[in-house]
Amino acid sequence: MVITIPAASRAGNGPRPINVNTDIPQLLKLLEDVFGEKMDDKSRRLLSTNASLSASPAFLWRLNPMASKLATGYVWEENGRVVGNATLLNTKIPGRYLVVNVAVDPDFRRRGIARALMQHLQAMARQRGARELLLQVVKDNKPAVDLYLSLGYRKLGSMTTWASSVSRVRELPLPADGDIPYRAVRELRRSEWRAAYTLDLACLHPDLNWPEPLSRDAYKTGLWQRLQDFLNGRTSETWVIAGDHRQLLGLASIWSEWGRAHRASLRVHPEWRGQLERPLLAKLLRRLKYLARRNVQIHHDDADELVSQLLRESNFRPRRTLTHMRLDLP
């Protein structure tokens, strides 16, 4: 198969590598115009924090962490104006890259700009020895999803971000007194961190954790980890339900960090789905009442209708649903 990529015209229009020295102000404006309310809180903070630096000398940008998130990739230029962008980010895993900030100005869509930028980005990734490319796209953005499918990407699943505030969360009615799973909810023991990690992998595809796969030490709570968390204003708590042979069947976690929204997660082994979600989530919501009065977010599999129903019952609302896609490069 031969893939043709539009070449830049003599007037300078078309795709070209990002120039951090000159493109940053227009890039920020483009991303804000295209994504706007669709951005998560972290992305919105990054834009607002760095917008004031857009007019600063280039060397200041190169010292700013935001530069590394914008510097590698391509823009599409029309008569001196940046109207499209696609960025490539590396990860902690060699050969694994993320495609982010794929944006085209509304006035220039349906001209093949996004496809050309993606093809250039894919060629750049190959030159860097990439084995796989991953991206997120709004689930309901059918034109974008269709574009990525036509480029060889495949869907891995969709994750919905649910949000509420601690003060507005409603507790779930507890299971009956004789319900054994609920009585078995207990704190994760320090020695069980490997089992918790294994359970998490069994419940959720690793590539559905964004931007990096789950760390092997995610549930580890040793002395050194607790000291680091204390110094950085972080806390973490995990509760589990174990089976007759002490194997972990489900878990619920809360991660808190000073000045940021609480992050919660719920994992139930595939063989026990439909049985443990309510008691685990009930425990998690009860614990939230004792934490700082901040917002709380839960990222969960969009296909899990039971948990979606329980979260609505608890006064959570869906913020956005992103489909994760992956391209394996030969």
Tens digits of residue pLDDT in 231-287: 778 899 999 999 988 899 999 999 999 889 999 999 999 999 999 999 999 999 999
Percent of the chain clearing pLDDT 70 (strictly above):
84
The mean-pLDDT minimum among 119-123, 152-156, 184-188, 317-321 falls in: 184-188
Most confident residue range from 36-50, 112-126, 228-242: 112-126
> How confident is the prediction for the chain on average, in pLDDT?
87
Q: Per-residue pLDDT averaged across 195-217, rounded?
A: 95
What distances in angstroms separate CA 39 from CA 104, 124, 240, 260, one per listed residue?
Answer: 15, 26, 33, 16
- Of 15-29, 123-137, 259-273, the range with the lowest mean pLDDT is 15-29
First to last CA, the chain: 14
pLDDT of residue 234: 86
CA gap 48, 59 in Å, rounded? 20
Question: Which secondary-structure segment (H or E) carries 227?
Answer: helix 223-231
- Sign, CA dihedral 173-179-181-183, equals positive
Q: What's the pLDDT score for residue 2?
A: 40
Q: How far apart are CA 234 and CA 284, in angstroms?
A: 17
> 51: pLDDT confidence band, cut at 50, 70 and 90?
low
Residue 171 pLDDT > 90? yes
Question: 289, 288, 268, 290: which is closest to 279 by C-alpha?
Answer: 268
**Whole-number CA gyration radius for the chain:** 22
- 33-37, 207-211, 253-257, 286-290: which range is least confident on average? 33-37
What's the pLDDT at 1?
40
Mean pLDDT of 215-242: 86
Return the structure tokens found at 204.
């959720």
The model's pTM is: 0.87
Helix intervals (H) in the chain: 20-35, 41-51, 58-62, 65-68, 113-127, 142-150, 180-183, 193-203, 223-231, 277-288, 305-313
Q: Which of 127, 129, 130, 76 is nearest to 99 (CA)?
A: 130
How far is residue 284's CA from residue 280's CA, in Å, rounded to a whole number? 6
Residue of 131, 100, 138 lying closest to 117 (CA atoms): 100
Cβ atoms < 10 Å from Cβ of 7? 9
Strands 248-257 and 14-17: unpaired
Q: What is the mean pLDDT of residues 302-319?
A: 97
pLDDT score at 40: 57
Cβ atoms of 130 and 97 within 8 Å: the answer is yes
Q: How confident is the model at residue 9 (pLDDT cuts 50, 70, 90)?
A: very low
Statement: residue 5 has pLDDT above 50: no
Does residue 229 contact residue 240 with C-beta atoms inside 8 Å? no
Residue 48 pLDDT grade (very low, low, confident, very high; cuts 50, 70, 90): low
Nearest to 28 by CA among 56, 45, 50: 50
Cα dihedral 225, 230, 233, 234, rounded to 10, equals: 40
The angle subtended at Cα 262 by Cα 249 and Cα 134, nearest 5°, is 70
- Which of the two residues, 259 and 192, has the higher pLDDT score? 192
3-class SS of residue 326:
strand
Adjacent-strand bridge partners of 248: 242
Tens-place pLDDT, residues 54-104: 555 555 555 565 666 788 999 999 999 999 999 999 999 999 999 999 999
pLDDT score at 43: 53
Single out the residue of 62, 61, 31, 63 nearest to residue 47, CA to CA. Answer: 31
Q: Which amino acid is at 201?
A: L
Helical (H) or strand (E) element with 75: strand 73-78
User: Residue 8: pLDDT band by 50, 70, 90 thresholds?
Assistant: very low
pLDDT at 24: 84
pLDDT of 200 reads: 97
Per-residue model confidence (pLDDT) at position 181: 54
* Cα separation, 101 vs 39, whole angstroms: 11
